[in-house]
């Protein structure tokens, strides 16, 4: 699953590719808890790297599909 995090007052966003077994509802819960507690959102990517984003700097969060679910080619829906 891919997650895109927009940062306040920045044109760039943070892109994290989460492991295939990542639970969408669990990730959403972690994001909401970080935002409610004004703490740091910590995510672990596919390669085991930890990414921390201060909740106060988060503008938006977009949860996407996993890279294995992407459809490429003609007639892709």
Domains and CATH numbers, the chain: 2-66 (2.30.30)
> From CA 58, how far away is CA 6, in angstroms rounded?
6
- Residue 57 host element (H or E): none
Residue-wise pLDDT for 49-72, tens only, equals 999 999 999 999 999 865 555 555
Round to whole Å and give the CA distance between 25 and 19.
14
pLDDT of residue 1: 87
pLDDT in tens, 19-39: 988 898 999 999 999 999 989
């Amino acid at each position: 699953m891919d997650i895109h995090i927009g940062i306040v007052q920045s044109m760039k966003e943070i892109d994290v590719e989460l492991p295939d077994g990542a639970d969408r509802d669990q990730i959403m819960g972690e994001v909401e808890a970080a935002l409610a507690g004004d703490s740091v959102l910590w995510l672990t990517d596919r390669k085991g790297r930890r990414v921390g984003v201060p909740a106060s700097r988060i503008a938006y969060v977009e949860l996407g599909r996993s890279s294995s679910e992407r459809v490429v080619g003609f007639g892709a829906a």
